Amino acid sequence: MRTLLRLIGFLAGTAWLAMAPAALAETSVYANGGAYFTASGPSAYWRYDSGQGYCGQFGTWCSPANSQWTWSTSTYGGVNNAVWNVIPIDRYSRAYAFIPRRNATTRGAKYTVAYNWVSRRSSEIDQMRYYDQWVPLAFGDQLRRIHSVDLTDSTFEATATRVNFDEIKIEN
């Protein structure tokens, strides 16, 4: 009996050790229109697609339950912009953008991830290629202390496209 208890104790300890890294991992989702989201530019240019995007389709626990989009522009710096102010965690993390199935037709959405308080990493995402998917930002690199993600409507495309501003996810 004593041998059996030691074996169970050993197995329970092993299972706990296997679970420890998962307990340290953290995923945070920052919604468009949420408390950590700031949109700028003329409100007449912002459009909302109810029941779409991550919160509208899959994340029933988050709000608002819509995706947000605007027309692209060739204006340097953009007309409508958004910032997701992320709660920085002193770990290496990856940033992702959710690209919804509708109103995401730009081929050059420029996302900029700010990290480690002074560094920035930009990447262009072809939103047209994705359908209700999380897409890695900053080339999928792990970055230390991510504190914000910016997106602009400035794509410099020849014809007007739709730039979608949906949820941002940080995984570490």
pLDDT at 7 over 70: no
Who has greater pLDDT, 162 or 76? 162
Q: How far apart are CA 42 and CA 74, in angstroms?
A: 16
Q: If DSSP codes are grouped into helix, strand and coil, which group holds residue 1?
A: coil
Q: How far apart are CA 56 and CA 61, in angstroms?
A: 10
pTM for the predicted model, two decimal places? 0.84
- What phi and psi, each to the nearest 5 degrees, are found at residue 133? -135, 150
* Span 124-134, average pLDDT: 97
Give pLDDT tens digits for 40-89: 999 999 999 999 999 999 998 999 999 999 999 998 888 999 999 999 98
- Contact between 153 and 74 under an 8 Å Cβ cutoff? The reply is no
Q: What's the pLDDT band for 168 if we cut at 50, 70, 90?
A: very high
- Contact between 130 and 54 under an 8 Å Cβ cutoff? The reply is no
Is the dihedral angle over the CA atoms 113, 162, 132, 139 positive or is it negative?
A: negative
Q: If DSSP codes are grouped into helix, strand and coil, which group holds residue 161?
A: coil
Quick one: pLDDT at residue 24?
59
- Contact between 125 and 34 under an 8 Å Cβ cutoff? The reply is no
